[in-house]
Amino acid sequence: MSWIFGAATIETILFVWVFGVEKAWDEIHRGADMRVPRIYKFIIKYVTPLFLISIFGMWFWQEWWPIILMKNVTAQNKPFVFAARAGLLLIFLTLVFLVSSAWKKRRKAMENLR
């Protein structure tokens, strides 16, 4: 269940740091029956991400090497795990290439508008 800390960390950072703390605070209060105390603004912005990153970091520190080396994977499953990792890497690299080319096209289109 270690993935839940990673998902919660990403969601918290996106909600508060990317979306913006003021917009997030307005969204929290939209449709709420009671006002959330202002101290939670600080807790949501600083304490929660720090806490989740520390939990995720400690898990990573303790478990990353056995996972990378596939210590808990049986010999018959290692090719499948390796293939899954290679497939995920290929998907990631494809997405990086597509985003990069889209940014270049957008930059070129913006320059043509000027």
Domain residue ranges in the chain = 1-71, 73-114
- What share of the chain has pLDDT > 90, as a percent? 61
- Residues 3-29: what's their mean pLDDT? 89
Q: What local confidence, expressed as pLDDT, does residue 87 receive?
A: 98
Q: What is the DSSP letter of 42?
A: H
Q: What local confidence, expressed as pLDDT, does residue 41 receive?
A: 92
Burial of 9 (0-12, 13-18, 19+ CB in 10 A): buried
What's the gap between Cα 16 and its chain centre? 13
Q: What local confidence, expressed as pLDDT, does residue 113 receive?
A: 83
> What does the angle CA 19 – CA 24 – CA 26 come to, to the nearest 5 degrees?
135
Largest pairwise CA distance in the chain = 60
Q: What local confidence, expressed as pLDDT, does residue 78 receive?
A: 95
- Residues 80-94: what's their mean pLDDT? 97
- Residues 70-94: what's their mean pLDDT? 96
Residue 102 has pLDDT above 80, yes or no: yes
Residue 34 has pLDDT above 80, yes or no: yes
28 Cβ neighbours under 8 A, 6+ residues apart: 36
For the entire predicted model, the pTM comes to 0.62
CA pseudo-torsion sign 20, 26, 32, 33: positive
CA pseudo-torsion sign 64, 3, 6, 36: negative
